[in-house]
């Protein structure tokens, strides 16, 4: 029996014959694909992956419905908290845990959520304080917490991964004439990945398929790049599961992956198949000790979220912790890692103290609804804050919850834009900015100066929506999203500049609309270049035509008006844009191009 046949059989026995929505029928899905191809030449695999994600979402909700009906006693209250953390004592206890649950629900629930959720690999290409305005650099959401990206620069060298197990380092000391300095192969059949850069230390995180384990593994490699022409690998560590995200806090790198246990066959006879595994320095994989595997609360989940701490000082992994959690969003502060995982109609939040590389589960809580992504969560003055959308049988609702450091409820604001959904969120000190959408784009300003009683202080309504919000100075906010006119969700890509100096009366100062254009940055915020040091916003576009792709740069002038300052057209999708001096670098799957930022001069294109 094939994997697909096995899943179909289990679904049929659990759900019967669920009615398939019209939008998911083959003819309707192919019509969607043809409509997309009118604008851009997108690879078939990319199109089908999106189509499969939609179908997977339907199966996920159908299966979740069955689960909720069969386990009504597991319904969670609107907001609760407890210290219900259970660490296991043996492999057999973990087997019993799974056997007592609902394997088919758990398998499908975890697998579909994992494949459909966007990786929380964070850090939009923005501006940080790098000592000068020489180059753009990745944004870090939380102070003193470094995040990774697929392409980086230190102003003299540019580093990029091509997604197929190759790392390239370019000499860009003369930005108008970049030169390939070195090329490095990552582990066999690697794909995807992100980079961290700190002086002469370069870290690469990638995924590979492990035949022995029969699944995906996440590998961290540490390189000494003192000699950029000959990088030297100094450390390697792998853990089972698909790469989800990573952070660097002080001298520790925190690696997070998600594994779906192997439910095929009789796993009671071979419990090792269920457990997550790790491999130090490229050695044989060994299972994580059951005493470092835990369940949070009473609900049984099907996925392991594995966290490992690698110490740069000690050049070793100091701790590994696996949580039975279908994690779909992560927020990290200097001291705490917060995991959000769906549970029933809500989410379970788990607070894990970092302790300099020694994990401890500090607290957990549940809320109605689910956060959109990492930007829907925040820690401020010791309080944890989260914005969620909650689905009912015939409507949606939105809320903001505030907890203390032990995840005890402290304050909440519910009933935010009923029948709409959160499309973006940004926490900025005592103010919280939310964008919801159904037919118009309300930008809400929430005053959270009193964490026990947050309230909406002002709002502005516009057509379309912003899928990403970014602070620009103290009183301005950049919005990136879609312009929607007359109910047409495909009208164009939009950049907005909001004035929030008067919280009661926020207003859109200006906007630029790229009609009939789509951007990957709408769902991958790392594709954005937000260079506040030079007042620039850059992003990839899919526009169709002879040169179907582009990278556009919009500038903010002294009068707080937006102007398109550069647009580079390409034959291939642009993954990243990076500025060094007055040169714009665009990275595709196999090219690096250098163009003048403020004129139409094209310097060179390197193929790799």
DSSP per-residue string spanning 254-323 = EEEEEE----SS-TTT-GGGTS-EEEETT---EEPPGGGEEEESS---S-EEEEEEEETTTTEEEEEEEE
Question: For 348-361, how does the pLDDT look when each residue is reduced to its tens digit (9 = 90+)?
Answer: 999 999 999 999 99
Long-range contacts of 36-43 (CB under 8 A, 24+ apart): 38/544, 39/516, 39/517, 39/518, 39/542, 39/543, 39/544, 39/548, 40/518, 40/542, 40/543, 40/544, 40/548, 40/549, 41/548, 42/542
The Cα-based distances of 526 to 119, 128, 139, 295, 543 in angstroms read 11, 14, 9, 32, 20
Which pLDDT score is estimated for 232? Answer: 97
Strands laid side by side in the 549-556 sheet = 137-138, 125-126, 529-531, 536-542, 549-556, 562-570
Bridge partners, residue 130, by sequence = none
pLDDT of residue 489: 57
So what's the pLDDT on residue 18? 43
Alpha-carbon distance of 342 to 64, in angstroms, equals: 10
Displacement of CA 1 from its chain's centroid (Å): 35
Q: What pLDDT does residue 273 have? A: 82
User: Residue 488: its pLDDT value, please?
Assistant: 55
Distance CA 73, CA 94 (A): 22
Query: How confident is the model over 296-328, as pLDDT tens digits?
Result: 887 667 789 999 999 999 999 999 999 999 999
Give the β-pairing of 252-259 and 179-185.
unpaired
Determine the Cα–Cα distance for residues 478 and 498; give it in Å rounded to an integer.
Answer: 6
Sequence-ordered list of residues with C-beta below 8 angstroms from that of 584, at least 6 positions apart, any chain:
538, 551, 553, 566, 568, 577, 578, 594, 595, 596, 597
Number of Cβ atoms within 10 Å of the Cβ of 439: 12
Angstrom distance (rounded) from CA 412 to CA 427: 15
Compute and round to an integer the Cα radius of gyration of the chain. 24
Strand order in the sheet with 157-161: 151-153, 157-161, 166-171, 179-185
Strand bridging mode 293-296 / 316-324: parallel
pLDDT of residue 216: 93
Q: What does pTM read for this prediction?
A: 0.85
- The pLDDT value given to residue 101: 56
> Alpha-carbon distance 336 to 327, whole Å?
16
Q: List, run by run, the mean pLDDT of 10-residue segments along the chain (608 residues).
A: 43 44 45 46 41 41 38 38 80 82 39 35 38 78 95 97 92 98 90 93 95 91 98 96 97 96 72 90 88 86 92 97 95 98 92 97 95 97 97 87 97 94 96 88 95 98 92 94 73 94 97 94 93 95 91 97 97 96 96 97 97
């Amino acid at each position: 029996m094939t994997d697909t046949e096995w899943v179909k059989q289990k679904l049929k026995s659990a759900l019967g014959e669920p009615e398939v929505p019209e939008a998911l029928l083959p003819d309707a899905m192919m019509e969607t694909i043809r409509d997309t191809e009118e604008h851009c030449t997108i690879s078939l695999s990319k199109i089908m992956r999106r189509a499969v994600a939609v179908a997977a979402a339907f199966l996920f909700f159908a299966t979740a419905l069955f689960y909720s009906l069969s386990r009504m006693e597991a319904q969670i209250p609107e907001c609760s908290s407890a210290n219900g953390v259970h660490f296991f004592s043996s492999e057999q206890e973990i087997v019993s845990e799974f056997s007592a649950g609902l394997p088919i629900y758990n398998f499908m629930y975890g697998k579909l959520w994992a494949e459909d959720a966007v990786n929380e690999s964070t850090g939009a290409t923005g501006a940080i304080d790098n000592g000068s305005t020489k180059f753009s650099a990745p944004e870090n959401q939380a102070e003193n917490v470094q995040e990774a990206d697929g392409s980086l620069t230190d102003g003299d060298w540019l580093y990029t991964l091509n997604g197929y197990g190759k790392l390239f380092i370019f000499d860009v000391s003369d930005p108008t004439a970049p030169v390939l300095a070195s090329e490095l192969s990552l582990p066999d059949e690697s794909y995807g990945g992100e980079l961290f850069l700190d002086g002469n230390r370069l870290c690469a995180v990638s995924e590979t398929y492990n035949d022995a384990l029969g699944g995906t593994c996440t590998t961290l490699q540490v390189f000494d790049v003192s000699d950029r022409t000959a990088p030297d690998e100094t450390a390697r560590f792998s853990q089972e599961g698909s790469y989800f995200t990573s952070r660097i806090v002080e001298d520790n790198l925190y690696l997070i992956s998600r594994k779906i246990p192997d439910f095929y066959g009789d796993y009671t006879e071979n419990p090792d198949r269920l457990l997550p595994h790790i491999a130090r320095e490229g050695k044989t994989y060994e299972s994580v000790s059951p005493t470092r595997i835990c369940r949070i609360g009473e609900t049984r989940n099907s996925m392991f979220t594995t966290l490992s701490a690698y110490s740069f000082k000690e050049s070793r992994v100091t701790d590994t912790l696996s949580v039975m959690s279908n994690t779909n969003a992560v927020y990290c502060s200097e001291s705490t890692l917060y995991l959000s995982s769906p549970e029933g109609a809500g989410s379970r939040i788990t607070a894990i103290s970092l302790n300099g590389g020694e994990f401890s589960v500090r607290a957990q809580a549940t809320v109605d609804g689910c956060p959109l992504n990492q930007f829907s969560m925040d820690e401020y003055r010791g309080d944890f804050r989260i914005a969620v959308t909650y689905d009912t049988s015939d409507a949606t609702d939105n809320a903001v919850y505030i907890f203390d450091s032990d995840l005890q409820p402290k304050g909440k604001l519910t009933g935010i834009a009923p029948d709409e959904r959160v499309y973006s969120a940004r926490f900025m000190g005592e103010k919280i900015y939310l964008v919801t959408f159904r037919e118009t784009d309300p930008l809400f300003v929430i005053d959270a100066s009193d964490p026990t009683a947050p309230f909406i202080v002002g709002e502005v309504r516009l057509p379309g929506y912003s899928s990403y919000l970014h602070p620009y100075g103290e009183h301005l906010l950049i919005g990136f999203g879609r312009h929607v006119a007359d109910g047409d969700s495909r009208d164009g890509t939009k950049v907005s500049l909001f004035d929030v100096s008067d919280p009661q009366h926020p207003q859109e100062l200006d906007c630029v609309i790229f009609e009939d254009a789509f951007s990957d940055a709408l769902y991958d915020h790392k594709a954005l270049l937000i260079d506040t040091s030079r007042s620039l916003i850059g992003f990839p576009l899919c526009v169709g035509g002879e040169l179907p792709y582009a990278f556009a740069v919009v500038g903010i002038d002294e009068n707080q008006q937006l102007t398109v300052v550069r647009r580079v057209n390409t034959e291939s999708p642009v993954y990243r844009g990076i500025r060094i001096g007055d040169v714009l670098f665009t990275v595709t799957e196999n090219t690096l191009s250098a163009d003048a930022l403020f004129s139409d001069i094209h310097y060179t294109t390197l193929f790799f």
